[in-house]
Structure 1
Amino acid sequence: MAKTYRTLETVINKALATKKRTKLKIRNTIKRAKKSLVLLQAKTFQRLYYIQNLVSRLKSIYGGKIAFLALISLLVISVFFTPLLQLYIEPYFSKTGRLDLLREFFLSLGGALIGATAIAFSLIMFAMQVNVERMPHGLFRKFSSDAKLLGSFIVTFSLAIVIAGLSFLPETSWVAGAIVTTVLCSFLIILLFVLAYRRALTLISPTMQLSLLVNDTKKSFRKWDRAAKRTTPIFQEKDKNQSELGDVRGEFDMYRLTYFQLHPNWTSSAEQAIYYCITFARRYAEQGDHEVSRVALNGVVAINSFYVKAKGRTFFSNNYFFENLLASDSFLLGTLEHFRQNIQIGISRKDEQFIEQNYQSLFQLTRIYLSIEYGDLVSSKSHAHLVAGYLEKAVEDTIPHNMADVLIQGVSVLGSTARLIVAHDRSVHIGSISEKIGFAGCTGVVNKNYQAVSQIAVKQLATLTFDLLRSRSADIDFAIKQVRNQIKLIAEMYLSTPDTPLMSTHSSSLAPYYSGTSENSLMAWLTELTNALSEADSNNKDANLVIGNISEWGSDLYQTEKELLLLSIEKKSHLTFDLVHWIVYITKLLLAISCSKACDHHHTDKLRKSAMWLIWVLSWVPGDEETIKFLETFRIADTIFESAVDAHKRDCATEALEVRKLLLNWTHKSGKYQTGWATLEKACCGLACLNIILGLADDLLLDEIDAYLTTQEAPSVDIRSRTARDLHQEAEEYREGYGHGAIDLAMSAVDQEILRILLHKIADHLSP
């Protein structure tokens, strides 16, 4: 019985398991089917989207051609279809009176269409003129007498007359042709109504008006360009002195220049188009429609681009020794005068968006005129510098009017303009731009609303510094000094004001240049550049050029940083922390670059010398007690020790010993004061670790300590005895491999027995 029960239980369990597996299979099948359907739906929609995008693209590119081909095809089909239609309908109209009814129908339909054409086009023209009457008079006449719109009216009216004229149908053999003609003419009339309506809407839209205006100007410049090219053979034939002036002809397109001088009004239509664009920009900006004003100003930029392309190699740069009348460009001067007036109008209206749009347009103009190819290969991009000068003046004019957002945008545009000039011209020409950026950066000192402007200005100067270091120009010395002086000016202006206790205004304002915690600062960018230079080969010319630029930048760096460090210490500013760590970190980077394969011997010596001059800036700090206590909060001994260890790791033995001397110098200055940070003890521990790391004899350090104790800067007996007691205790402590600074970590890493003996010796010499 029990066996039967177990057998039955087994069968039931198997049946339940089979049922469960069946349900699970069905559920999985349904899930797979749903996933397949979802995937199929997604693929189907993707194909539909692809087809829609393809049709839309073809329509935008070939829409007119496709419509024209369709219309021609319809006419051809109608011609072949007419004889067949004639066979079927001629017997019907052969009966008396039916042909007269058809003639009356044609007459009525034609008359109705003539009236409808007149009414429709009257309403279209009236609505268009009402909306267009606010534009300049020249454009009003241009768009009111639009050839396409008037042509549509003439063709529509003519087609209606054709339909009415079919009422003179002579006999039944013409019936099929007349009917087909009526159908086609009616279809074309409706189509022309729609096209005329859309054309009227286009002419009413200010953005479309501007687009048409710019396109017409582009066609005009192309016409003059073709005319100049076609006239060149005539000048070549008449030029008898071509062999004597061949060099000049090769540099400048003199034939094109001669042709344009013979036709001085070749730019008149473009100048008028620019005037119309400026009028649109001012009017719609006043109404608050800045979308139209933006399109209008972009139109001015586009027209200048067409002008530069059409003029070709006929530009002359300014000569500082002799006056060149051909260097003056009235077209550009007129454009810049319009922009100057726009800025003044925007300032008077407090129209911030309009001012920013003009900034961007001047920046785009600078980009365009930097692309000019002058005949004189050594000439500067004087036309681009002229545009940049107007941009500088425009940004400067907005400073007194308390428009912080506008000034931020202006400073950003100035920075972008300076970087463009560095990339396309000699870097010496960015001096005035950097001065304007620095001047704008100082405004945050006198106006709290402009503190964000100061940060943007410092960021632009930091970015400009980095771009100068990476530039292909070999004469960045003047430009890099100008940028550095502006950073110094902004820092000095901020240091002349009290620093805030919680959020340091000094540090935050200069963070893009001096901060070591931000990934978007000069220090972070230089770190990435140093890593790239370290991986470069010795034959890498670009790396060699960048290393030369960094060498020039670092040669006088210590002067600026020394003055700023002393001033920040005097003002007890939190910027001191950033300056100290910046000095130490840049020292490491200079040494790292000097050890790269791409660095030659000349630049190696120069970089290492600059690094030592920079790190020894810390030796200039005052030695009074108040200053030492202030600086000890920034753990100066740790930073100097870290720099010495880094130099040792890079096999810069001489430099490591120099930094060790700096740590000893700091010990002399700070060891005689009770700062609360165990200053003398920490310095002695650092010197002991350096002795072990650098492999120096113990007697050298002990003799230096003995000599230190005999000087007037020697600490008091109380400080010496307390430090000796702490060193004895430190020597016997167990270290777990972590600490609060570089010296603590080094003490855990060196040989503990050697360190213990040396610390005991130092303690004994301090206090026997």
Structure 2
Amino acid sequence: MTENLENEEKQESSKFDFALWKARAWNRWYWFKYRLRLKTQKYSSRFFAAILVLCYLSTFIFLPTFEIQTHPFFENSFKGITELLLSLGCALIGSSAIAFSFMMFAMQVNIERLPHGLFHRFSSDIKLLAYLTTAILLAFSITALSLIPDHSWTNFAVANSAVGTLAIFVLFLCGYKRALYLVNPSKQIQMILSNTQKVFRIWKKRSERARPIFSLAEDNSAIDIPLRAYFDMNSLWTSEAVTACNHAIAFADKYAERGDYEISSKALECIALINIEYVEAKGATFFPSNPFFHTDNSQDRFIRHTLELLRKHIASGLFKKDERHIEQGLQTLKSLSQIYLTIRYPSEIALKTHANLARGYLDSSINNVLPHEMDDVVMNGLRELGDLSIYYSLQARPNDLVQFADRFCHICMKRLKKPNPLPVIQIASEQFSRLSLSALYNCKEDTSFLFSQISYHTLTLSTCILTTIPDNPFATNHSNYLSAIYSPMNPQGFMDSFLKFSVDIANPESQIVANNEYVFINILQWLEATTADHIKIFNLAANAKLPFCIDLILWTTSIIRGLIHITKSPNFPDDLLENFNNEIENFSRVFMHTEESNEVYSHLARNHLTEHLFYCCLYAQQINNQKLSQKIAATLYAWTQKAGKYETSWEIAGEGILGICTLALITDNQAYYEKVKEQVILLNEKFPDNITNSAKQYLSEAASSVGRLDYSRSKIKTALNSVEREKRSRFLREVIGLLN
């Protein structure tokens, strides 16, 4: 039996080895075909041209051999051979001339609508003219072979004419291929880009050669003064790039009007690539703008010209109501802003002048789209701004990000004035979430002002939505509008992303902390800036008894648990722990500022606020942050004291006291037991008799429950079940006795 099993295993392993070898062989074959195709496309014309040239030259090299080895047929038919060569040469001259005329006519017809500079360049392409001129010259050379003096030259004439005839047909094919290449708009754009890149390389070489002329004896400036002086002296060094951008935008306008958006996209991409070459060539010669006085040094004519071209391009799309046309322009403006973020300024704290200028054009373009009821374009514009904000968080200062929050809020406010604003508001709230997260991840300077502005604009947006958009438990309009910020069900929302962020930070090998040690300060500053405005949002929702309260409660308590999880990170700075715990406590007291009324507290109790607060205390207890657990437990006690005295259909007092007692039982600390008993005595003094009796009954049921706690939906009762039965019954009966 064992031998059979071993044989079967060997057979299976051999089959597996053969299948693996076969799969690897196929992969290598595909790789070889792919590489061969690339080389063929790149070098096929050169390869065949080289072979033909070698064959043609070989007829001259082997001329003495041809003279010695003369075939008798050529001796008897010398006149016929010369007549054949004459006829063949004349026919080839005619066909070459006809082919030349047809190809040039086709070229001119296809490129007649191009700008004058491109028309002249493509219609006089050197390679195409070389192919056709060489074909005509070869035809003349074949005709000239009819003049050979005697039959000893016939071998050479036949070989030379055969190779020449073949070469002419190959040149026709190469000319045809080149003509197709020239009339292909994507290839025309590629040629524009290649020529501009070549010109920039030439100017870079020239500037390096001229550097000693402009160098100073002592140059400690962060500005490359020799390079700047050279470019100022040769102010027309960007003329070719300006012309190329004009041609590219002409392509974009022309093909966008035709509906060929692939070509228009390539034309706009060409503009972005030209700007990359420009920024690289200009190097460290840029000046930032000064907020206190004007300077012309920060002005860049090429960048302004490029941005103006794109503004007009987008305006043309707006006039035609072409959404794809506009979206491509917005995407290019975003790309240009990203490119300008890489500009090297004299100081690291300098304003990103040129990137801000491009971003301003993007803002203005999106704002111009708003009145035209193109929500898809506006949403894509918001996404472009959101993507750009991530690049800003990596390369700019935190205060530069404030403009993004302003723009998101401004667009939302304008869109709320028109019907059906939901799609735009959802995307804008998503960008608010991305902006906050990218700032937490990437910023390495003081972020307090940035987060205060984000919080303020979030408050403004939330207030407008909660006060103007009607809602009910079945519609959940508010949750839909603010899904990306507050919804616990959105996997791309802020809450879910923040919880993943907190888990990553708590990891001892976290790359986030390794790349940015300032991340814990960012979180603390975000928490400080957010708490006050979040209180206002929660008060507005709670006092109006909106269904949105459940989202806010889940969001707040989930964020608290994420913050608690961050405190257990081994990389967490000890000097921040006390401030961090205090801010978490303040954040947990968001629920304490609502209007004191039976209806409000009933609404909050219906959404299980007491249980969620208890779970935060328990979570802090589980990660051994005793101080923070006690601070949040104080919030739970304050909530029980404030809301428990109101008679509601939900047992706030009994559930709150049970939560405090459960924490004491889990802590199993005598001092904590005594503290809880004192709190219960104080609550007994403040609660009316009916509330006290109701709480006693609730605690009695919990103390006498045997198996029901296992299946309870209450987080408090589930946690209580983990305590030894006798211990919990004894302590709860003591607490019940204190309520008499």
Q: Residue 52 of structure 2 aligns with which residue? A: 71
1:159-194 per-position Cα deviation (integer Å, ceiling 9, x unaligned) = 111111222212223222222221222122111111
Q: One-letter code of the match for 1:126? A: F
Q: One-letter code of the match for 1:707? A: L
TM-score (norm 1): 0.89
Q: For 2:114, which of 118, 124, 135 is the aligned residue? A: 135
Q: Residue 353 of structure 1 aligns with which residue? A: 324
For 1:230-309, list aligned pairs within 5 A: 230-236=209-215, 242-243=216-217, 245-248=218-221, 251-309=222-280
| Structure 1 segments unaligned to the other structure (5+ residues) | 1-20, 237-241
Q: For 1:598, which of 571, 584, 592 is the aligned residue? A: 571
For 1:556-705, list aligned pairs within 5 A: 556-694=529-667, 695=669, 696=671, 700-705=675-680
Q: Residue 294 of structure 2 aligns with which residue? A: 323
C-alpha contact 2:487 2:493 (8 A) present in aligned 1: yes
Would the alpha carbon gap of residues 372 and 725 (structure 1) be closer, same or farther in structure 2, given more than 3 Å must change? closer
CA distance in 1, matches of 2:545, 2:475: 14
CA distance in 2, matches of 1:49, 1:647: 57
For 1:480-629, list aligned pairs within 5 A: 480-496=451-467, 497-536=469-508, 542=515, 544-629=517-602
C-alpha contact 1:538 1:597 (8 A) present in aligned 2: no
- The 10-residue stretch of structure 1 (474-483 or 354-363) with the greater mean CA deviation from structure 2: 474-483
Q: For 1:725, which of 691, 697, 716 is the aligned residue? A: 697
Would the alpha carbon gap of residues 67 and 311 (structure 1) be closer, same or farther in structure 2, given more than 3 Å must change? farther
Q: CA deviation at 1:472?
A: 4.5
CA distance in 1, matches of 2:298, 2:567: 45
Q: Residue 191 of structure 1 aligns with which residue? A: 170
- Alignment of 1:49 onto 2:30: yes
- The 10-residue stretch of structure 1 (618-627 or 80-89) with the greater mean CA deviation from structure 2: 80-89
Would the alpha carbon gap of residues 79 and 764 (structure 1) be closer, same or farther in structure 2, given more than 3 Å must change? same
The residue matched to 2:518 in structure 1 has which SS? helix
Q: Give the root-mean-square deviation of aligned CA atoms.
A: 2.9
Would the alpha carbon gap of residues 494 and 80 (structure 1) be closer, same or farther in structure 2, given more than 3 Å must change? same
CA distance in 1, matches of 2:174, 2:445: 60
Equivalent pairs counted in the alignment come to 730
Q: One-letter code of the match for 2:186? A: T
Would the alpha carbon gap of residues 32 and 390 (structure 1) be closer, same or farther in structure 2, given more than 3 Å must change? closer
Would the alpha carbon gap of residues 28 and 554 (structure 1) be closer, same or farther in structure 2, given more than 3 Å must change? closer
Q: CA deviation at 1:607?
A: 0.7
1:281-300 per-position Cα deviation (integer Å, ceiling 9, x unaligned) = 11111111111111111111
C-alpha contact 2:488 2:496 (8 A) present in aligned 1: yes
Q: For 2:70, which of 82, 89, 93 is the aligned residue? A: 89
Would the alpha carbon gap of residues 146 and 698 (structure 1) be closer, same or farther in structure 2, given more than 3 Å must change? closer
C-alpha contact 1:644 1:660 (8 A) present in aligned 2: yes
Would the alpha carbon gap of residues 378 and 31 (structure 1) be closer, same or farther in structure 2, given more than 3 Å must change? closer
1:445-489 per-position Cα deviation (integer Å, ceiling 9, x unaligned) = 444543122222222221221111121422222222222222222
1:366-413 per-position Cα deviation (integer Å, ceiling 9, x unaligned) = 121111222344423211111111111112221222112111111111
Q: CA deviation at 1:349?
A: 1.4
C-alpha contact 1:427 1:479 (8 A) present in aligned 2: yes
Q: One-letter code of the match for 1:262? A: M
Q: CA deviation at 1:57?
A: 2.5
CA distance in 2, matches of 1:555, 1:396: 32
- Alignment of 1:144 onto 2:130: no
The residue matched to 2:351 in structure 1 has which SS? coil
Q: CA deviation at 1:666?
A: 1.9
1:10-64 per-position Cα deviation (integer Å, ceiling 9, x unaligned) = xxxxxxxxxxx9xxx9x99999999999889767655543332231122244445
C-alpha contact 1:206 1:292 (8 A) present in aligned 2: yes
- The 10-residue stretch of structure 1 (354-363 or 30-39) with the greater mean CA deviation from structure 2: 30-39
Q: Residue 14 of structure 1 aligns with which residue? A: none
Q: CA deviation at 1:567?
A: 0.8
Q: CA deviation at 1:721?
A: 2.9
CA distance in 2, matches of 1:416, 1:58: 37
Q: CA deviation at 1:547?
A: 0.9
CA distance in 2, matches of 1:668, 1:31: 72
CA distance in 2, matches of 1:690, 1:44: 65
The residue matched to 1:133 in structure 2 has which SS? coil
Would the alpha carbon gap of residues 765 and 350 (structure 1) be closer, same or farther in structure 2, given more than 3 Å must change? same
Would the alpha carbon gap of residues 255 and 79 (structure 1) be closer, same or farther in structure 2, given more than 3 Å must change? same
1:732-761 per-position Cα deviation (integer Å, ceiling 9, x unaligned) = 221353421221112211232232233334
Q: CA deviation at 1:234?
A: 3.6
C-alpha contact 1:412 1:460 (8 A) present in aligned 2: yes
CA distance in 1, matches of 2:9, 2:226: 81
- Alignment of 1:423 onto 2:402: no
For 1:323-472, list aligned pairs within 5 A: 323-442=294-413, 445-447=416-418, 449-472=420-443
For 1:169-180, list aligned pairs within 5 A: 169-180=148-159
The residue matched to 1:710 in structure 2 has which SS? helix
1:648-695 per-position Cα deviation (integer Å, ceiling 9, x unaligned) = 334433333332232222222332333222222222211221232342
Q: One-letter code of the match for 1:212? A: M
| Structure 2 segments unaligned to the other structure (5+ residues) | none
Q: One-letter code of the match for 1:455? A: Q
Q: Residue 748 of structure 1 aligns with which residue? A: 721
Identity, in percent, stands at: 28
CA distance in 1, matches of 2:347, 2:644: 65
CA distance in 2, matches of 1:443, 1:750: 56
CA distance in 2, matches of 1:734, 1:475: 54
Q: One-letter code of the match for 1:129? A: Q
Would the alpha carbon gap of residues 400 and 32 (structure 1) be closer, same or farther in structure 2, given more than 3 Å must change? same
CA distance in 2, matches of 1:400, 1:314: 40
Q: Residue 449 of structure 2 aligns with which residue? A: 478
C-alpha contact 1:492 1:564 (8 A) present in aligned 2: yes
C-alpha contact 2:93 2:139 (8 A) present in aligned 1: yes
The residue matched to 1:247 in structure 2 has which SS? coil
Q: CA deviation at 1:630?
A: 0.8
CA distance in 2, matches of 1:431, 1:726: 51
C-alpha contact 1:737 1:749 (8 A) present in aligned 2: no
The residue matched to 1:246 in structure 2 has which SS? coil
Q: CA deviation at 1:542?
A: 4.3
1:258-308 per-position Cα deviation (integer Å, ceiling 9, x unaligned) = 222222212112111111111111111111111111111111111111211
CA distance in 1, matches of 2:15, 2:352: 66
CA distance in 2, matches of 1:46, 1:535: 39
C-alpha contact 2:241 2:274 (8 A) present in aligned 1: yes
C-alpha contact 1:444 1:451 (8 A) present in aligned 2: no
- The 10-residue stretch of structure 1 (512-521 or 490-499) with the greater mean CA deviation from structure 2: 512-521
Would the alpha carbon gap of residues 34 and 260 (structure 1) be closer, same or farther in structure 2, given more than 3 Å must change? closer
Would the alpha carbon gap of residues 146 and 537 (structure 1) be closer, same or farther in structure 2, given more than 3 Å must change? closer
The residue matched to 2:721 in structure 1 has which SS? helix
Would the alpha carbon gap of residues 234 and 31 (structure 1) be closer, same or farther in structure 2, given more than 3 Å must change? closer
- The 10-residue stretch of structure 1 (407-416 or 179-188) with the greater mean CA deviation from structure 2: 179-188
C-alpha contact 1:590 1:608 (8 A) present in aligned 2: no
The residue matched to 1:393 in structure 2 has which SS? helix
- Alignment of 1:158 onto 2:147: no
Would the alpha carbon gap of residues 601 and 47 (structure 1) be closer, same or farther in structure 2, given more than 3 Å must change? closer
The residue matched to 2:710 in structure 1 has which SS? coil
CA distance in 1, matches of 2:390, 2:196: 31
CA distance in 2, matches of 1:382, 1:101: 80
CA distance in 2, matches of 1:76, 1:38: 52
Would the alpha carbon gap of residues 386 and 753 (structure 1) be closer, same or farther in structure 2, given more than 3 Å must change? same
The residue matched to 1:318 in structure 2 has which SS? coil
Would the alpha carbon gap of residues 638 and 413 (structure 1) be closer, same or farther in structure 2, given more than 3 Å must change? same
